[in-house]
Amino acid sequence: MIYVLGSVNMDLVFDVPYMPVGGETLSANTFNTFCGGKGANQAVALAKLSSKVRMIAGIGSDGYGKRLKDNLIACGVDAEHVRENGGDSGLAAILVENGENRIILHGGANMRVSASDVDAGLKDAKAGDILLTQLEIPLETVEYAFKVAKEKGMTTVLNPAPAVPLKNSLFELTDIITPNETETEILVGVCPKDIVHVALAIKEFYKRGVKNVIITLGDRGAAVSHGQNITEIEPRKVKVVDTTAAGDTFVGAVCNRLENGWDIVEACRFANCASSLTIQRHGASDSIPTISEVEKVYGGV
């Protein structure tokens, strides 16, 4: 079983001809709403890849909350522990220009996810299960959840987004961390601009107590640490439509393959194929591929 503790957002997506400057009003080419949030996207990715996944999250009592929970259920996610906690739901305003996005978050119900939610959601978890989380919920809840997970013998996976400075106590509880380039620089002060700096960044993560590191590098692919070795994962060359949920698809796919007994390097190659499909489509959870779609691409690599 894979448990996802994290955010559920309604994404308000504006496709724009260019990014506006201060004081400018700009007409969008198109506007759409999509069910998203890093936690929800990762849970949906796992469900579409045939994993049994439980979501632990908070939604608001506004009109968005029910739609967000219903979408998780429709995608095959166990949403019993997606709890209405009052107030407004999480929201994300997303500007998309030529496939690249800029995102503004409003935490809403995500910031009311608590230790009691963790206790309820992980009550049946056992050794060998995976706990995946991000940083769109309170940091104290993330660290508490990892402590509970380690006591149960679970594998902990941290997708540190959006990146904020973290205490070593959280790094030490992390089996696998999956930052992108920007997050890596914020967390350890090293920009992974080439393989030399990737190695330096991974060394810094090790110093802080992380067991394994996967750095996603955008159109440069990814880099994976395993023991003292670093493997570069080559990107797939595809037409980029929208990068929303690409990282979430990647992380979900890694956890899916690890659950199936794959080694971390081959899991990342599979995840690279999955995320390359996501960026060819619009939306968040709607853009995430199914297991059969990814297997076709992976088998052709």
- Rounded mean pLDDT, 29-41: 92
Share of the chain above pLDDT 70, in %: 99
Answer yes or no: is pLDDT of 301 > 60.
no
pLDDT confidence of residue 64: 94
Radius of gyration in angstroms for the set of CA atoms belonging to the chain, rounded to a whole number: 18
pLDDT digits (tens, 9 = 90+) for 156-171: 999 999 999 999 999 9
Residues annotated as catalytic (active site), given as ranges: 248
pLDDT confidence of residue 300: 61
Answer yes or no: is pLDDT of 10 > 60.
yes
Integer Cα distance of 51 and 251 in angstroms:
13
> Is the alpha carbon torsion for 76, 78, 80, 85 positive or negative?
negative
Instruction: Count CB neighbours of 238 within 10 A.
Output: 13
Exposure string over 257-282, b if 16+ CB within 10 A, otherwise e: bbbeeeebbebbbbbbbbbbbbbeeb
pLDDT digits (tens, 9 = 90+) for 69-117: 999 999 999 999 999 999 999 999 999 998 888 989 899 999 999 999 9
pLDDT digits (tens, 9 = 90+) for 225-271: 987 899 999 988 888 888 878 999 999 999 999 999 999 999 999 99
Q: Which residues neighbour 142 within 8 Å (Cβ) at sequence distance 6 or greater?
A: 5, 133, 135, 158, 170
**How far are the Cα atoms of 134, 188, 243, 286 from residue 160, in angstroms, in the given order?**
5, 12, 18, 23
Domains, the chain, in order of start with CATH, read 2-17+29-116+129-299 (3.40.1190.20)
